[in-house]
Amino acid sequence: MAILSDHHWDDRAVGLRELRRVARRQVVLLTWDPRFADAFWLTRYYMPASKRLVPGMVIEDIARCLGGARSVPVPVPWDCRDGFYHAFWRRPEAYLDERVRAGISVFARLDDDQKAGALARLEGDLRTGAWKTRNADLLQLDELDLGYRLVVAEP
């Protein structure tokens, strides 16, 4: 089992094949599909440089490494309490909190100038109401599919 960690592995394909090799019954992986990068307002409008941090392995590539697998979308609820990157999609002010950012690897891996610029733009858009205007449709949603997938393989 791996939970939102495989994108940090030095050799993801090798790690996935190793999961398959040692699994007795099944491999369960909660991961993210990078094709959804632009679906998230934080990436799209404030931190486009973060896309270079994401390995290019899509769900089908992961499934191949696991010898075949099924994947199930895992929408993120609006009030998600976990601290991963997309958890606060409907609560943008959370990204201005240093304690929240400390638990999100994307912020740790971004250049300080890029991070500071993104946060300043976000803070300004929250102050002026531009964020709310641009993302008004999100405020009506209870959950959002941002590309998280539960991938299950039975070797």
Instruction: Mention the CATH class of domain 2-153.
Output: alpha beta
Give the span between the Cα atoms of 130 and 60, in whole angstroms: 37
pLDDT in tens, 43-93: 999 999 888 887 678 999 999 999 999 999 999 999 999 999 999 999 999
Name the pTM for this structure.
0.89
What pLDDT is stored for residue 7 in this prediction? Answer: 84
Contacts of residue 36, Cβ cutoff 8 Å, sequence gap at least 6 = 145, 146, 147
- Name the DSSP class of 72: E
Which amino acid, 127?
R
Where do the H-state alpha helices sit in 2-147? 12-22, 41, 59-65, 98-102, 105-109, 112-128, 130-134
Model confidence at 16, pLDDT cuts 50, 70, 90, reads very high
Residue whose tokens read 């993104």: 118
3-state DSSP assignment of residue 53: helix
pLDDT in tens, 103-145: 999 999 899 999 999 999 999 999 999 999 999 999 999 999 9
Give the span between the Cα atoms of 27 and 49, in whole angstroms: 32
Q: Which of 67, 3, 71 is nearest to 35 (CA)?
A: 71
Asked whether residue 151 carries a pLDDT value surpassing 90, the answer given is: yes
